[in-house]
Chains A and B, each alone.
Chain A
Amino acid sequence: MEQIIDIFVRSVFVENMIFAYFLGMCSYLAVSKTVKTASGLGLAVIFVLLITLPVNYLLDRYVLSPGALARINPEWAAVDLGFLSYILFIAVIAAMVQLVEMVVEKFAPALYNNLGIFLPLIAVNCAILGGSLFMQERAYENIWQVLSFALGSGFGWYLAIVSIAAIREKLSYSNIPAPMRGLGIAFIITGLMGIAFMSFMGIQF
């Protein structure tokens, strides 16, 4: 239990997807002009992470990792399908996003109106694939740890995009040198926020 909380807190603050690894920067910069759309995209990212990470974890553990196929046929104990993980992870993500989009459209039209336009964007969001690859690299022990990692990194991403959107809303009233407007200042503010987030380094339970 302690470990699960530890993983959650670490992935929200210390190993924040945006401030420590810059994952999902493209949509982070493109969709952070107003708080409302930013929080829609943030929620969609949490949602998709929570669905794709456990699926990829099971796939990694029971199909891709070295020797996993011995369960089916003992002769395959030496088979290592690790090199296929990129292509399978991205296929799972693309398929899941498509599936989620259809299910949400059918059963929760109100939610679809809020999240709908962002869902296809998310299939190629680096934060999602990055989450799967980090999950594989860090070798979490069980599915609860993976779920906590998914929720934590999704929430960290949400926090980051909503706060930059709030800052950018205020920024439109300030007097910034012309070549710096838009992209330049967004980068620098993200950098400054990253420095602030570094003060969380070393937190653990």
Chain B
Amino acid sequence: MNKRIFLDPLFKNNPVSVLALGICSALAVTVKMEPALVMALSVTLVTGFSGLILSMLRNTIPDRIRIIVQLIVIATLVILVDQVLKAFAYPISKQLSVFVGLIITNCIIMGRIEAFALHNKPFHAFVDGIANGLGYGIILVAVSFFRELFGSGTLMGYSLIPEKWYVSAGGFYENNGLFILPPMALIVVGLIVWVFNARNAKKDKKAWNK
């Protein structure tokens, strides 16, 4: 049971590629890998702990005002994350700008609370939150990997393409500027969704043939 709660959101029910949740604040931070990793980590922590807290409170919250209570808990956690980032990683916090605040309206968090944390024990809700955050992180890191590699020829800030390959140094290679522009993020995610769906379809067919 625990293993399934943890593993399903990573691939089979990935919140981004299968369920189309949480794309809002995701794509603008994927130009470089470093901010993407920080963003993934922040979202994982917020989903995990908001699940934990709201699952502990689940029997005391009146049904009518639950959305406001959820938003307040999430917003408090996001403020904590934001203040920590501002204190210890200021350049990255500047780069992420409004997108840290937008974690509040990330649909994955609300979605998991509504669908899972409000009906399950705190520990399970915590595991489910962390796993969904990681599932989101996988997509974020994959997208930023391709965008940084093809767009700037670097990974985590280290350049991978030898200097003399570049046209400016008499070589043949040029970075693809299109990958830095926002629309390319959507196209890369579209292709990732394609791969995920194709793999899942194959597995389903196998299970069905058995």
Q: Tell me the A residues contacting B by CB distance below 8 Å.
A: 19-26, 29-30, 83-87, 90-91, 94, 120, 123-130, 133-134, 137, 177-180, 183-188, 190-195, 198
Contacts and interface: CB of A to CB of B under 8 A. Distances in A.
Contacts of B167: none
Contact of A19 (B24, B107, B183): B183
Contacts of A125: 105
Interface string B161-202: 000000000000000000001111111011101100110010
B197 A179 contact: yes
Interface residues of chain A: helix, strand, loop or mixed (majority):
helix
Nearest to A195: B183
Contacts of B102: 23, 126, 129-130, 133
Interface stretch (B51-59, B66-74, B117-125, B145-153): B66-74
Most buried by A among B67, B82, B184: B67
B92 interface: no
B38 interface: no
B67 A19 contact: no
Contacts of B79: 83-84, 86-87
Contacts of A123: 67, 71
Contacts of B105: 90, 124-126, 128-130
Contact of B185 (A22, A26, A185, A198): A22
Most buried by A among B106, B193, B201: B193
B27 A22 contact: yes
A91 B72 contact: yes
Given A24-B24, A87-B76, A183 B104 contact: no
21 contacts: A21-B182, A22-B28, A22-B186, A23-B25, A23-B102, A25-B24, A25-B27, A83-B79, A86-B78, A87-B79, A94-B68, A120-B67, A126-B25, A127-B24, A129-B105, A130-B24, A130-B98, A133-B98, A180-B190, A193-B183, A195-B181
Interface residues of chain B: helix, strand, loop or mixed (majority):
helix
Contacts of B23: 22, 25-26, 29
B83 interface: yes
Interface of B: 17, 20-28, 67-68, 71-72, 75-76, 78-79, 82-83, 97-98, 101-102, 104-107, 110, 181-187, 189-191, 193-194, 197-198, 201
A86 B101 contact: yes
B102 to A, nearest CB: 5
A30 B181 CA distance: 24
A63 B125 CA distance: 37
Contacts of B67: 94, 120, 123
Given A87-B79, A90-B105, A137-B97, 17 more contacts: A19-B182, A22-B25, A22-B28, A86-B101, A91-B68, A91-B75, A129-B102, A129-B104, A129-B105, A133-B102, A179-B197, A183-B197, A187-B186, A187-B189, A188-B190, A188-B191, A195-B183
Contacts of A191: 183-187, 190
B74 to A, nearest CB: 8
Question: A-B pairs with the 7 shortest C-beta distances?
Answer: A194-B183, A187-B190, A191-B186, A126-B24, A179-B197, A191-B187, A188-B190
B38 to A, nearest CB: 17
Contacts of B98: 130, 133-134, 137
Nearest to B27: A22
A181 to B, nearest CB: 8
